[in-house]
Structure 1
């Protein structure tokens, strides 16, 4: 009996999953860790900034940052 080309073969599936799952986890963690530093870089080093649609920035201090 001939194997179907759509048949899932464990000899192919297991190594593929062994590469895809860890690399997906690494990419998600890297994205989460890079999000805030990139935002700080875009805000010229200020930790808490609100941008308006016109592109002007307002530097926030104290409890204003928590909003």
Structure 2
């Protein structure tokens, strides 16, 4: 039966870098995905009926 450190170290060696890669990848993909979903507009709001309102300036921060 293997001891706990011999199993724990490889598990951490795989899971920690994988977690970092997934977090960084998610952060980098967030805004491009939002722009893609908004039909190429950086800041847009869609109503339930499907109409698009393009937002400018401080409206984007809300």
Q: TM-score range by the shorter chain?
A: 0.7 to 0.9
Q: Which has the higher helix share?
A: 2
- The aligned length equals 62
Q: Deviating runs (4+, > 3 A) in structure 1?
A: none
TM superposition score normalised by structure 2: 0.83
Structure 2: tracts of 5 or more residues without a match: none
Q: CA RMSD in A?
A: 1.7
Partners of 1:61 and 1:10 lie apart in 2 by: 55
Larger radius of gyration: 1
Structure 1: segments with no counterpart, 5+ residues: none
Normalising by structure 1, report the TM-score. Answer: 0.78
